């Protein structure tokens, strides 16, 4: 009976099965998105961890005020609790990253991160900054602000410590310093070669709170009611927030839905305190863009003539709107609204564009078969022009008939230079308190890039649009139904040391057993070189083998300390070459739960040599 109860408890925590195929909007959601075309305002919410964000406020800002709304979490929650499994550290961070992304899909926000690592509870911000490297993480916050260009910034916690945890206070300190630094061309000027410019937000506010017996709200603070009901969505913002909050399943954060008025309080920490609206003093219309008046007029006319039963009737008007936007000067809001308009064109058209495989894994130097499936479900004026995936490029010029499937298969070659599928923040060896991300354009991003993207060009009412779709692994589970997971590119061989530690006791030989498992049957010669310090002799420092046997094997080099009587702990790693080409030397790891897509990462093959000068006494 206890076993059954535990199963039921686990099932309830995990909740609904992850599928995440193509997201199709209802006609009501399309209507709301057309309204959003005439709203040019943005808000960035800042806190420390997954679950720190105010999901009700984010839902209100995104779905009621129609602002572009983002959440910047300093960490991925790597040091938090895990109520659904045993994963900790980077694996827990992978889970909680996906839970945050699930919450954002519900409340309409966008998700960002810094490089900071959640190393667990911190007593104060000073301790936090020692491990995080304050200047690096401040640079990340400034970078996100300069890219996102928020009109206002909101912090969950104050700079004065009422938030308790050192990470919490540190997040507010960084946000307030970044408020000024983002506008200063002398701070982090290395950003500017990547296309960003200094940005000054109007104000930064602390979203005061009343929880945990600590009431920081005051009557003289600005307040706004975020508990309204949205008839287009059929939910209150409290109900949307509860659904989003409940995505944090690894923390057991399922919460009840709330209804009725609910006030959020704010105090400006920099900039003028708002009087009537959070965005007081900010022009949130097309008036902030040169030549934007004509765009406002066109968007209004599309909204007035929109037919909930016939969304495809609005496609031609949206294409005209898109072309008009292209005539505007290049700039942040012009480019953002172009993206929104293109997405609306696809949703109103009912276009289904899918690129999938029947295998979850593909291997460098092997081949991959991709299934393409397209459908013009509502019969809009659409011509399939071109499909591209890496080295595959095909011209079609085929009119897409109403609700007729266009299906075809293509096999592509995976070159040896194709990067393995590794979350970008795990690509380099991390420091104690932060991930080492050396590509500036990846800083701030929430998720790993897909292994392959399909670029699908479709001409709609005379204008060519390029829709980008990730190539994903699709399968049908007999119980769960249709499931989409990321496609993973693997190296041709996996390597791992059998033991984490290899002992040399009383200067004896330490035996480091290396396991390798080929993924190809290609008869290529591989060379493995062991890397170790000068404190050891190696029985063999390298070996070669071929994969034509296509089976698992082991190598067991012996290491002997050069000096006797020492206590040493040193690392052994390997370099691997396929011919003259270096390949990744490590093994695949995965994290799988029903509520998130399977997460795969690769761990470098390393082991420790321990020389222990053990002395024993009293042998009788």
What is the dihedral sign for C-alpha 216, 218, 224, 227?
A: positive
Sign of the dihedral defined by the CA atoms of residues 20, 232, 334, 114, in that order: negative
Q: Using CB atoms within 10 A of its CB, is residue 437 exposed (0-12), middle (13-18) or buried (19+)?
A: buried
In this structure, the answer to whether residues 249 and 141 fall within a common structural domain is: yes
431 half-sphere exposure, CB direction, 13 A CA radius: 14
CB within 8 Å of 436: residues ≥ 6 apart = 115, 428, 429, 430
Judged on CB neighbours under 10 Å (0-12, 13-18, 19+), 367 is exposed
Residue 70 CB: number of other CB atoms within 10 A?
Answer: 26
Task: State which of 301, 333, 349 marks the end of a domain.
Answer: 349
CB half-sphere exposure, 617, CA atoms < 13 A:
0
Say if residue 368 is in the same domain as residue 451: yes
Give the whole-angstrom CA distance, residue 241 versus residue 109.
Answer: 11
What is the structure's pLDDT at 620? 78
* Residue pLDDT, tens place only, 460-516: 999 999 999 999 999 999 999 999 999 999 999 999 999 999 999 989 999 999 999
Give the distance from CA 373 to its chain's centroid.
26
Instruction: State which of 294, 315, 349 marks the end of a domain.
Output: 349
302, 316: one domain:
yes
Q: What's the pLDDT score for residue 164?
A: 84
Q: Answer yes or no: is 468 within a domain.
A: no
- pLDDT at residue number 3: 35
DSSP code per residue over 598-609: -EEEEEE-EEEE
What is the Cα–Cα distance from 169 to 153, expressed in whole angstroms?
16
- Asked, for residue 485, whether it belongs to a domain, the answer is no
Q: Do β-strands 152-155 and 42-47 pair in parallel, antiparallel, or remain unpaired? A: parallel
Can you tell me whether residue 591 is helix, strand or coil?
A: strand
Residue indicated by tokens 């008036």: 287
CATH at 508: 2.60.40.3880
Domain count, the chain: 4
Residue 431 within a domain: yes
And the tokens for 464? 């060519």
| 454 and 337 housed in the same domain | no
Same domain, 77 and 224: yes
- Taking the C-alpha atoms of residue 131 and residue 265, their distance in angstroms, rounded to an integer, is 32
6, part of any domain? no
Residue where a domain terminates, one of 459, 483, 506: 459
Residue 274 maps to a domain: yes
Q: What are the angstrom distances between the C-alpha of 568 and each of 502, 562, 608? A: 11, 11, 10
Q: Decide if 171 contacts 129 (C-beta within 8 A).
A: no
Q: Is residue 464 part of a domain?
A: no
Could you tell me how far CA 496 lies from the centroid of its own chain? Answer: 27
**Selection from 190, 104, 205 nearest residue 142 by Cα:** 190
- My answer on whether 292 and 273 are in the same domain is no
Instruction: Indicate whether 379 and 444 sit together in one domain.
Output: yes
Alpha carbons 184 and 347: distance in angstroms, whole number? 40
Name the one residue in this structure whose structure tokens are 């795969």: 600
Q: With contact defined as beta carbons under 8 Å apart, do 343 and 322 qualify?
A: no
Determine contact, residues 565/599, Cβ cutoff 8 Å. no
Strands 382-389 and 367-376: unpaired
Low-confidence ranges of the chain (pLDDT < 50): 1-16
| Cα–Cα distance for residue pair 259/235, rounded to 1 Å | 9
Q: Which of 471, 481, 475, 487 is nearest to 356 (CA)?
A: 471
Q: Is residue 162 part of a domain?
A: yes
Dihedral sign (CA 499, 586, 592, 476): negative
Q: Note whether residue 3 is domain-resident.
A: no
Domain enclosing residue 446, as ranges = 351-459
Task: Give the model confidence (pLDDT) of 314-373 as tens digits.
Answer: 999 999 999 999 999 999 999 999 999 999 999 999 999 999 999 999 999 999 999 999
CATH number for position 447: 2.60.40
Contact 228, 241 (CB under 8 A): no
Shared domain for 429 and 549, answered yes or no, is no
Looking at the fold, whether 89 and 182 belong to one and the same domain comes out as yes
Look up the pTM and report it.
Answer: 0.93
Query: Left (φ > 0), alpha (ψ -120 to 50) or beta: where does 252 sit?
Result: left
Query: Rg for the chain (alpha carbons), in Å?
Result: 27
Nearest alpha carbon to residue 112 among 77, 75, 59: 75
Largest CA distance in the chain: 96
Here the tokens at position 113 are 């991160």
Q: For the range 503-508, what are the long-range contacts, defined as Cβ-Cβ under 8 Å and sequence gap of 24 or more?
A: 503/610, 503/612, 504/559, 504/560, 504/561, 504/609, 504/610, 504/611, 504/612, 505/612, 505/614, 506/612, 506/613, 506/614, 507/560, 507/561, 507/564, 507/565, 507/611, 507/613, 508/560
pLDDT tens column, 401-413: 999 999 999 999 9
Cβ 188 vs Cβ 143: under 8 Å: yes
The two beta strands, 481-486 and 472-477, are antiparallel
- Reading the block at residue 570, the tokens are 């040193």
Contact 57, 207 (CB under 8 A): yes
The token pair at 134 is: 């304050």
Q: What is the DSSP code (8-state) at residue 249? A: G
Say whether both 522 and 385 belong to one domain.
no
Counting other chains too, the contacts that 179-184 makes at CB distance below 8 Å and 24 or more residues apart are: 179/145, 179/153, 179/204, 179/270, 179/271, 180/270, 181/138, 181/142, 182/142, 182/145, 182/146
Say how far apart CA 15 and CA 22 lie, in whole Å: 21
- Note whether 381 and 406 are same-domain residues: yes
Tell me the two tokens of residue 341.
Answer: 């308009």
Coil, helix or strand for 394?
strand
| CA torsion, ordered 323, 328, 332, 338, to nearest 10 deg | -10
SS3 334: helix
| Encoded tokens for 171 | 């997040």
* 355 and 344 fall within a common domain: no
Q: Is 383 exposed, middle or buried (0-12, 13-18, 19+ CB in 10 A)?
A: middle
Q: What is the rounded distance in angstroms from the CA atom of residue 246 to the CA atom of residue 102?
A: 10
């Amino acid at each position: 009976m206890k076993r059954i109860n535990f199963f039921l408890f686990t099932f309830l925590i995990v909740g609904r099965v992850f599928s995440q195929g193509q997201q199709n909007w209802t006609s009501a959601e399309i209507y709301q998105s057309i309204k959003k075309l005439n709203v040019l305002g943005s808000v960035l919410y800042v806190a420390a961890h997954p679950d720190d964000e105010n999901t009700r406020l984010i839902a209100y800002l995104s779905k009621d005020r129609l602002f572009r709304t983002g959440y910047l979490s300093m960490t991925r929650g790597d040091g938090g609790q895990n109520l659904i499994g045993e994963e900790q550290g980077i694996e827990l961070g992978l889970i909680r990253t996906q839970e945050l992304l699930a919450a954002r899909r519900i409340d309409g926000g966008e998700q960002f991160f810094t490089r900071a690592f959640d190393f667990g509870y911190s007593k104060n911000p000073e301790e936090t900054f020692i491990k995080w490297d304050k200047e690096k993480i401040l640079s990340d916050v400034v970078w996100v602000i300069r890219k996102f260009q928020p009109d206002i910034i909101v912090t969950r916690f104050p700079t004065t410590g009422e938030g308790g945890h050192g990470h919490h206070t540190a997040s507010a300190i960084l946000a307030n310093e970044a408020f000024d630094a983002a506008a200063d061309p002398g701070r982090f000027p290395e950003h500017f070669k990547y296309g960003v410019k200094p940005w000054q937000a109007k104000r930064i506010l602390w979203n005061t709170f009343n929880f945990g017996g600590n009431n920081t709200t005051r009557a003289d603070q600005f307040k706004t009611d975020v508990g309204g009901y949205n008839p287009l969505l059929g939910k209150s913002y409290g109900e949307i927030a509860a659904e989003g909050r409940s995505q944090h399943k690894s923390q057991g954060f399922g919460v009840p839905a709330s209804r009725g008025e609910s006030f959020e309080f704010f105090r400006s920490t920099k900039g003028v305190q708002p009087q009537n609206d959070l965005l007081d003093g900010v022009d949130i219309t097309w008036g902030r863009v040169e030549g934007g008046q004509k765009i406002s007029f066109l968007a209004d006319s599309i909204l007035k003539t929109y037919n909930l039963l016939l969304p495809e009737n609005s496609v031609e008007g949206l294409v005209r709107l898109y072309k008009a936007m292209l005539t505007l000067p290049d700039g942040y809001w012009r480019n953002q609204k172009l993206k929104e308009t293109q997405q609306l064109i696809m949703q109103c058209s009912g276009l289904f564009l899918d690129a999938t495989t029947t295998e979850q894994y593909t291997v460098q130097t092997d081949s991959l078969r991709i299934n393409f499936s397209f459908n013009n479900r509502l019969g809009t004026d659409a011509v399939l022009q071109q499909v591209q995936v890496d080295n595959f490029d095909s011209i079609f010029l085929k009119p897409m008939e109403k609700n007729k499937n266009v299906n075809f298969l293509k096999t592509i070659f995976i070159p040896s230079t194709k990067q393995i599928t590794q979350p970008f923040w795990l690509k380099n060896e991390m420091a104690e308190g932060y991930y080492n991300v050396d590509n500036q354009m990846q800083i701030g991003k929430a998720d790993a890039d897909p292994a392959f993207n399909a670029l699908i060009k479709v001409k709609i009412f005379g204008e060519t649009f390029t829709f980008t779709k990730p190539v994903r692994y699709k399968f049908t589970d007999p119980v769960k139904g249709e499931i989409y997971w990321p496609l993973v590119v693997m190296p041709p061989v996996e390597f791992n040391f059998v033991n984490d530690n290899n002992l040399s006791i009383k200067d004896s030989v330490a035996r480091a057993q290396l396991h390798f498992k080929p993924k190809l049957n290609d008869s290529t010669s591989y060379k493995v070189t062991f890397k170790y310090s000068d404190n050891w002799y190696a029985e063999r420092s390298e070996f070669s083998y071929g994969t034509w046997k296509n089976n698992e094997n082991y190598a067991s080099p012996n290491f002997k300390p050069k000096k006797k009587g020492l206590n040493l702990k040193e690392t052994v790693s390997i370099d691997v070459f396929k011919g003259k080409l270096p390949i990744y030397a490590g093994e695949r790891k995965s994290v799988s739960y029903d509520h998130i897509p399977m997460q795969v990462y690769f761990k470098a093959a390393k082991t420790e040599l321990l020389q222990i000068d053990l002395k024993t006494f009293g042998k009788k």
